[in-house]
Chain A
Amino acid sequence: MSEFLAVLSNYDLVGAYWLNIQLTFFAAVASLVIGTILALMRISPIPSLQFAGTTYVNLIRNTPLTIIVVFAALVLWPVLGVEFSTDFATNFFWLAVLALSVYHASFMCEALRSGVNTVPAGQAEAARAIGLPFLPAARLIILPQAFRGAIAPLGNTLIALIKNSTVAAAISVPEISILMKEMMENEGNYVIPIFLTVAVGFVIIVVPIGLAVTYLSQRLAVSR
């Protein structure tokens, strides 16, 4: 056991997890913003925006995340010239964030839409009755309640995003699954303990968030 701990101390496990958390954080913020815009488009009365929102969600949701990540690194950057930084590693980090955001925005959108479904029709009717047009009604009446009703699916999307941040490995962002592979190749005697360590790390990150989401979704639900 102490030998294994000595082996572990040769590697920057925390640093690798930290990279996953950074990827998750930036992608979560960006995908929530894009997802909110998409959700507004989909619930708006304007057909062309509805169509664009629906098309985005259906296309992106059915595309494997790995393809989107690889596309960002092999097409967006070298072919189409989308560059975030001249530093190679920083550039790939942000390309991975971009890919994760684009992908998860469709799930954030659907989560918010399911939140809108929890708002009773009477609320929208009341908003109309006092003369609010679509955007103010959405901003003041519908969305605040929808966000609270959407906490559970939004939280699930966040948890999926944490786990999916490992897919940045496809473009060599040195996050935890890349470090795990490197450790396993170097320390052949400890393959299974290394897997368990990395796996338990995810359990430690993910399970409390799951519990918090469950708690918050009950706590913040608008009681009706």
Chain B
Amino acid sequence: MSRQTVLFDAPGPRARRNVRVGNWVGAVVVIGIAVFVLVQMNAAGQLRPELWAVVVDPDSWRYNFLPGLQNTLVAAAYAIVTSVVFGLLFGVGRLAANRALRWFSGVVVEFFRAVPVLVMMVAGYQILGRFTAVSGTAQLLLSVVIALTLYNGAVIAELVRSGVHGLPKGQREAGLAIGMTRGQSIRSIELPQALIAMLPSLVSQFVVILKDTALGYIIVYPELLRSARLLGSGAPFAILQSLFVAALIFIVLNYLLSKVAELVARKVGGRTSGKARANPAPPNAVTVPAVGGGGR
């Protein structure tokens, strides 16, 4: 954290004392808040051992957390593969020499980035139910995967585009100079480099996909959050505890994934003429936001 030095110089004796005092005051406040929360939880009877016993019970894991986690991971895995395919197709489409193709890809990408994932998920479920024979869990899984693919695929398409734009111009010029067409230069010179440069951002986007699988809760796909809620809704009603465990699993998985992104960024840093960064924009929310400004 070298930039911390921007706001304060190497402190003198008085500043060091102030920082020390501030540190203690800050620690007391933070710990005070934690204690207050625990006291409130205790007053509500939420620290009772039998409630926490529910979530460490092997049966809870066998029948709730692990099957839920499995459904979450299955949905995320499908969505990761399909959204990378979608992103490559439309990302290259946005770079195409053909103006109509470029325009079409642009409209598709901008549209699916502007529509909330949940809206696509709910609509996808209804449309599948009405126009196809898919039903039951397959219908739920498919709705989750389709919605995640359309949104994250559009974001990945932007990553592809900005990755190619981030390359030095000489790369393309060299390709054209040795007689390649525009398309050949994209395919065999620019795209491979852009892919390496965007690898860390891509992994960060997988965090978004994994997190957004939890939206499946709303259409009743039996993912981790749904199964945790189910566990918590039976006696002795350990809902706080089971949601806590579900959140913890997500946090650990996503934290590991973002560490992988950082690792990848370090590894591939010198292997491309473009820039490799772990975080594209703020690695947002139900997603990375964006829209409008796009890859600028």
User: Which of chain B's residues has its CB closest to A125's CB?
Assistant: B9
Instruction: Choose from B6, B26, B246, B283 the contact partner of A52 (Cβ within 8 Å).
Output: B26
In the complex with contacts A79-B240, A128-B9, A213-B292, A70-B116 CB distance below 8 A = no
Min CB gap A90→B, angstroms: 21
Is B40 in contact with A80, judged by CB distance below 8 angstroms?
yes
Is A214 in contact with B296, judged by CB distance below 8 angstroms?
yes
Instruction: Choose from B214, B232, B286 the contact partner of A163 (Cβ within 8 Å).
Output: B286
Q: CB-defined interface of A156-172 with B at 8 Å, one 1/0 digit per residue?
A: 11111101101101100
Interface residue tally for chain A (C-beta within 8 Å): 81
Q: Which of A110-140 contact B (CB under 8 A)?
A: 110-111, 114, 116-117, 119, 121, 124-125, 128, 134, 137-138
CB of A211 within 8 Å of the partner chain: yes
CB of A107 within 8 Å of the partner chain: yes
Query: B-side binding surface: helix, strand, loop or mixed?
Result: helix
Instruction: Choose from B8, B118, B229 the contact partner of A169 (Cβ within 8 Å).
Output: B118
Q: Which residues of B contact A160 (CB under 8 A)?
A: 284-289
Instruction: Choose from B24, B225, B281, B282 the contact partner of A67 (Cβ within 8 Å).
Output: B225
Q: CB-defined interface of A192-210 with B at 8 Å, one 1/0 digit per residue?
A: 1011001100110011111
Q: Which residues of B contact A125 (CB under 8 A)?
A: 9
Is B251 in contact with A63, judged by CB distance below 8 angstroms?
yes
Report Cα–Cα, A156/B114, bound state, in Å: 11
Report Cα–Cα, A164/B46, bound state, in Å: 30
Min CB gap B60→A, angstroms: 17
User: Which of chain A's residues has its CB closest to B7's CB?
Assistant: A124
Is B293 in contact with A210, judged by CB distance below 8 angstroms?
yes
Q: Which of B161-219 contact A (CB under 8 A)?
A: 207, 211-215, 217-218
Report Cα–Cα, A194/B19, bound state, in Å: 58
Is A206 in contact with B26, judged by CB distance below 8 angstroms?
no
Q: Which residues of A contact B282 (CB under 8 A)?
A: 107, 110-111, 114, 153, 156-157
CB of B71 within 8 Å of the partner chain: no
A-B contact pairs, 23 of them (CB 8 A): A43-B7, A44-B7, A45-B7, A45-B15, A48-B23, A49-B22, A49-B23, A63-B251, A66-B214, A74-B232, A121-B5, A157-B284, A157-B289, A163-B115, A163-B117, A163-B285, A164-B116, A169-B118, A181-B126, A185-B126, A195-B127, A211-B292, A213-B292
Using CB atoms and an 8 Å cutoff, list the residues of chain B in contact with chain A. Answer: 3-9, 11, 15, 19, 22-24, 26-27, 30, 40-41, 44, 46, 110-111, 114-120, 122-123, 126-127, 130-131, 207, 211-215, 217-218, 225, 229, 232, 239-240, 243, 246-247, 250-251, 254-255, 258, 281-293, 296
Using CB atoms and an 8 Å cutoff, list the residues of chain A in contact with chain B. Answer: 43-49, 51-52, 58-59, 61-67, 70-71, 74-75, 79-81, 103-104, 107, 110-111, 114, 116-117, 119, 121, 124-125, 128, 134, 137-138, 142, 152-153, 155-161, 163-164, 166-167, 169-170, 176-177, 180-181, 184-185, 188, 191-192, 194-195, 198-199, 202-203, 206-211, 213-214, 217
